[in-house]
Amino acid sequence: DFLFFWGTVFLITTTLVALLKKENQELTPTKEETKGITDTYRLLLSIIKMPAVLTFCLLILTAKVGFSAADAVTGLKLVEEGVPKEHLALLAVPMVPLQIILPLIISKYTAGPQPLNTFYKAMPFRLLFGLEFAFLVWWTPKVKHEGGFPVYYYVVVLLSYALHQITLYSMYVAIMAFNAKVSDPLIGGTYMTLLNTVSNLGGNWPSTVALWLVDPLTVKECAGAQEQTCGTTVAAEV
Protein backbone atom coordinates (compact mmCIF):
# COMPACT_ATOMS: atom_id res chain seq x y z
CA ASP A 1 0.00 0.00 0.00
CA PHE A 2 2.83 2.36 0.89
CA LEU A 3 4.70 1.70 -2.38
CA PHE A 4 1.46 1.86 -4.40
CA PHE A 5 0.52 5.24 -2.91
CA TRP A 6 3.89 6.89 -3.51
CA GLY A 7 4.22 5.24 -6.92
CA THR A 8 0.89 6.83 -7.88
CA VAL A 9 2.01 10.23 -6.53
CA PHE A 10 5.25 9.92 -8.52
CA LEU A 11 3.42 9.08 -11.75
CA ILE A 12 0.92 11.94 -11.32
CA THR A 13 3.53 14.60 -10.50
CA THR A 14 5.92 13.62 -13.29
CA THR A 15 3.04 13.48 -15.78
CA LEU A 16 1.94 16.99 -14.72
CA VAL A 17 5.49 18.25 -15.16
CA ALA A 18 5.63 16.73 -18.64
CA LEU A 19 2.28 18.28 -19.64
CA LEU A 20 2.43 21.69 -17.94
CA LYS A 21 6.13 22.65 -17.86
CA LYS A 22 7.27 24.37 -21.04
CA GLU A 23 10.85 24.44 -22.24
CA ASN A 24 12.62 27.76 -22.56
CA GLN A 25 12.85 28.33 -26.31
CA GLU A 26 15.68 30.85 -26.03
CA LEU A 27 18.96 29.09 -26.62
CA THR A 28 21.52 29.87 -23.93
CA PRO A 29 25.19 29.27 -24.74
CA THR A 30 26.64 26.53 -22.58
CA LYS A 31 29.86 27.04 -20.67
CA GLU A 32 30.75 23.37 -20.78
CA GLU A 33 33.83 22.67 -22.87
CA THR A 34 32.88 19.04 -23.55
CA LYS A 35 30.88 18.10 -26.65
CA GLY A 36 30.26 14.39 -26.22
CA ILE A 37 30.96 11.24 -24.22
CA THR A 38 34.48 10.75 -25.62
CA ASP A 39 35.47 14.34 -24.84
CA THR A 40 34.03 14.02 -21.34
CA TYR A 41 36.05 10.92 -20.49
CA ARG A 42 39.22 12.46 -21.91
CA LEU A 43 38.59 15.47 -19.72
CA LEU A 44 38.00 13.25 -16.66
CA LEU A 45 41.27 11.45 -17.34
CA SER A 46 43.16 14.73 -17.51
CA ILE A 47 41.55 15.85 -14.24
CA ILE A 48 42.46 12.61 -12.45
CA LYS A 49 46.09 12.92 -13.58
CA MET A 50 46.49 16.20 -11.67
CA PRO A 51 48.68 15.55 -8.55
CA ALA A 52 46.37 17.44 -6.17
CA VAL A 53 43.31 15.54 -7.43
CA LEU A 54 45.13 12.19 -7.14
CA THR A 55 46.11 12.94 -3.53
CA PHE A 56 42.59 14.12 -2.67
CA CYS A 57 40.99 11.02 -4.26
CA LEU A 58 43.32 8.78 -2.25
CA LEU A 59 42.29 10.58 0.94
CA ILE A 60 38.54 10.41 0.38
CA LEU A 61 38.76 6.78 -0.77
CA THR A 62 40.30 5.76 2.57
CA ALA A 63 38.89 8.37 5.00
CA LYS A 64 35.80 6.32 5.90
CA VAL A 65 37.51 3.00 6.62
CA GLY A 66 37.56 3.71 10.38
CA PHE A 67 33.79 3.75 10.81
CA SER A 68 32.68 1.42 8.01
CA ALA A 69 31.98 -1.51 10.36
CA ALA A 70 29.96 0.62 12.77
CA ASP A 71 27.87 2.10 9.94
CA ALA A 72 27.26 -1.16 8.05
CA VAL A 73 26.97 -3.81 10.75
CA THR A 74 25.45 -2.18 13.87
CA GLY A 75 21.83 -2.45 12.71
CA LEU A 76 22.29 -6.07 11.64
CA LYS A 77 23.90 -7.00 14.96
CA LEU A 78 21.07 -5.36 16.91
CA VAL A 79 18.56 -7.45 14.92
CA GLU A 80 20.70 -10.53 15.58
CA GLU A 81 20.53 -9.78 19.32
CA GLY A 82 16.73 -9.75 19.19
CA VAL A 83 15.76 -6.13 18.48
CA PRO A 84 12.67 -6.28 16.19
CA LYS A 85 13.35 -4.97 12.69
CA GLU A 86 10.09 -3.02 12.70
CA HIS A 87 11.18 -1.16 15.86
CA LEU A 88 14.48 -0.17 14.27
CA ALA A 89 12.56 0.95 11.17
CA LEU A 90 10.30 3.12 13.35
CA LEU A 91 13.37 4.73 14.95
CA ALA A 92 14.38 5.88 11.46
CA VAL A 93 11.23 8.05 11.21
CA PRO A 94 12.39 10.76 13.68
CA MET A 95 15.70 10.84 11.79
CA VAL A 96 14.01 12.21 8.64
CA PRO A 97 13.36 15.78 9.92
CA LEU A 98 16.84 15.75 11.46
CA GLN A 99 18.35 14.77 8.10
CA ILE A 100 16.48 17.68 6.46
CA ILE A 101 17.49 20.27 9.06
CA LEU A 102 21.14 19.25 9.52
CA PRO A 103 22.41 20.25 6.04
CA LEU A 104 20.76 23.66 6.44
CA ILE A 105 22.54 24.25 9.76
CA ILE A 106 25.89 22.72 8.77
CA SER A 107 26.04 24.62 5.45
CA LYS A 108 26.54 27.85 7.44
CA TYR A 109 29.85 26.49 8.73
CA THR A 110 31.00 25.07 5.38
CA ALA A 111 30.33 28.22 3.34
CA GLY A 112 33.67 29.82 4.25
CA PRO A 113 37.07 29.51 2.58
CA GLN A 114 37.93 26.23 4.38
CA PRO A 115 34.90 23.88 4.27
CA LEU A 116 36.99 20.80 5.11
CA ASN A 117 37.62 22.10 8.64
CA THR A 118 34.14 20.82 9.54
CA PHE A 119 35.08 17.43 8.05
CA TYR A 120 38.23 17.24 10.21
CA LYS A 121 36.42 18.27 13.39
CA ALA A 122 33.61 15.74 12.91
CA MET A 123 35.85 12.75 12.13
CA PRO A 124 37.14 11.94 15.66
CA PHE A 125 33.60 12.13 17.05
CA ARG A 126 32.33 9.78 14.36
CA LEU A 127 35.18 7.36 15.15
CA LEU A 128 34.19 7.46 18.83
CA PHE A 129 30.63 6.55 17.85
CA GLY A 130 32.08 3.32 16.46
CA LEU A 131 33.10 2.41 20.02
CA GLU A 132 29.73 3.58 21.33
CA PHE A 133 27.90 1.37 18.82
CA ALA A 134 30.10 -1.59 19.80
CA PHE A 135 29.11 -0.97 23.43
CA LEU A 136 25.46 -0.75 22.35
CA VAL A 137 25.63 -4.17 20.66
CA TRP A 138 27.35 -5.65 23.75
CA TRP A 139 24.75 -4.04 26.07
CA THR A 140 21.69 -5.12 24.05
CA PRO A 141 21.37 -8.76 25.28
CA LYS A 142 21.90 -7.63 28.89
CA VAL A 143 18.78 -5.42 28.93
CA LYS A 144 16.56 -7.83 27.00
CA HIS A 145 13.70 -9.43 28.94
CA GLU A 146 10.75 -11.66 28.08
CA GLY A 147 8.58 -8.73 26.96
CA GLY A 148 11.26 -7.39 24.65
CA PHE A 149 13.32 -4.29 25.43
CA PRO A 150 12.61 -1.47 27.91
CA VAL A 151 11.70 2.02 26.69
CA TYR A 152 14.94 3.53 27.97
CA TYR A 153 16.87 1.17 25.68
CA TYR A 154 15.13 2.58 22.60
CA VAL A 155 15.75 6.12 23.89
CA VAL A 156 19.48 5.36 24.10
CA VAL A 157 19.47 3.87 20.58
CA LEU A 158 17.57 6.87 19.21
CA LEU A 159 19.95 9.37 20.82
CA SER A 160 22.95 7.39 19.58
CA TYR A 161 21.61 7.39 16.02
CA ALA A 162 20.71 11.10 16.20
CA LEU A 163 24.17 12.16 17.41
CA HIS A 164 25.77 9.87 14.84
CA GLN A 165 23.72 11.58 12.10
CA ILE A 166 25.17 14.95 13.15
CA THR A 167 28.74 13.72 12.62
CA LEU A 168 27.79 11.90 9.41
CA TYR A 169 26.12 14.95 7.85
CA SER A 170 28.88 17.28 9.03
CA MET A 171 31.35 15.22 7.01
CA TYR A 172 28.99 14.76 4.07
CA VAL A 173 28.06 18.44 3.68
CA ALA A 174 31.68 19.54 4.20
CA ILE A 175 33.02 17.27 1.45
CA MET A 176 30.24 18.35 -0.93
CA ALA A 177 30.97 22.01 -0.20
CA PHE A 178 34.69 21.47 -0.81
CA ASN A 179 34.03 19.63 -4.10
CA ALA A 180 31.80 22.49 -5.25
CA LYS A 181 34.42 25.05 -4.26
CA VAL A 182 37.43 23.50 -6.02
CA SER A 183 35.63 22.43 -9.21
CA ASP A 184 36.55 24.44 -12.29
CA PRO A 185 33.44 26.51 -13.26
CA LEU A 186 34.05 25.82 -16.98
CA ILE A 187 33.58 22.09 -16.41
CA GLY A 188 31.84 22.32 -13.04
CA GLY A 189 29.30 19.54 -13.59
CA THR A 190 31.85 17.03 -14.85
CA TYR A 191 34.49 17.97 -12.29
CA MET A 192 32.16 17.93 -9.28
CA THR A 193 30.44 14.71 -10.33
CA LEU A 194 33.82 13.00 -10.55
CA LEU A 195 34.81 14.10 -7.03
CA ASN A 196 31.41 13.23 -5.57
CA THR A 197 31.51 9.80 -7.23
CA VAL A 198 34.93 9.08 -5.71
CA SER A 199 33.62 10.32 -2.35
CA ASN A 200 30.61 7.98 -2.54
CA LEU A 201 32.86 5.10 -3.56
CA GLY A 202 35.04 5.88 -0.53
CA GLY A 203 32.02 5.22 1.67
CA ASN A 204 30.72 2.14 -0.16
CA TRP A 205 33.75 -0.10 -0.58
CA PRO A 206 34.73 -0.11 3.15
CA SER A 207 31.13 -0.99 4.09
CA THR A 208 31.16 -3.89 1.60
CA VAL A 209 34.47 -5.17 2.99
CA ALA A 210 33.18 -4.78 6.58
CA LEU A 211 30.09 -6.87 5.78
CA TRP A 212 32.23 -9.51 4.05
CA LEU A 213 34.53 -9.72 7.11
CA VAL A 214 31.70 -10.17 9.63
CA ASP A 215 31.53 -13.95 9.23
CA PRO A 216 35.27 -14.81 9.35
CA LEU A 217 35.81 -12.44 12.31
CA THR A 218 32.84 -13.72 14.34
CA VAL A 219 33.71 -16.10 17.19
CA LYS A 220 31.27 -19.02 17.29
CA GLU A 221 30.63 -21.56 20.02
CA CYS A 222 28.87 -24.89 19.59
CA ALA A 223 26.13 -25.61 22.10
CA GLY A 224 25.70 -29.32 22.88
CA ALA A 225 28.47 -30.52 20.57
CA GLN A 226 31.69 -31.39 22.34
CA GLU A 227 35.04 -31.10 20.58
CA GLN A 228 33.45 -29.11 17.78
CA THR A 229 34.86 -25.64 17.11
CA CYS A 230 32.32 -24.18 14.64
CA GLY A 231 35.20 -22.04 13.42
CA THR A 232 34.43 -22.63 9.74
CA THR A 233 31.16 -22.65 7.79
CA VAL A 234 31.41 -26.42 7.22
CA ALA A 235 32.05 -27.11 10.92
CA ALA A 236 29.13 -24.87 11.91
CA GLU A 237 26.79 -26.78 9.57
CA VAL A 238 27.96 -30.13 11.01
In this predicted structure, what is the pLDDT of residue 140?
A: 92
Tell which wins on pLDDT, 64 or 237: 64
pLDDT surpasses 70 at 27: no
Q: Give me the residue spans of the domains in the chain.
A: 38-215
CB 230, CB 222: distance < 8 Å: yes
Q: How confident is the model at residue 217 (pLDDT cuts 50, 70, 90)?
A: confident
pTM tops 0.85: no
pLDDT surpasses 80 at 176: yes
Q: Which of 149, 141, 154, 133 is nearest to 81 (CA)?
A: 141
Q: How confident is the model at residue 22 (pLDDT cuts 50, 70, 90)?
A: confident
Q: How confident is the model at residue 161 (pLDDT cuts 50, 70, 90)?
A: very high
CB 68, CB 213: distance < 8 Å: no
Query: What average pLDDT does range 13-24 have in this prediction?
Result: 89
In this predicted structure, what is the pLDDT of residue 28?
A: 57
pLDDT surpasses 80 at 142: yes
In this predicted structure, what is the pLDDT of residue 169?
A: 92
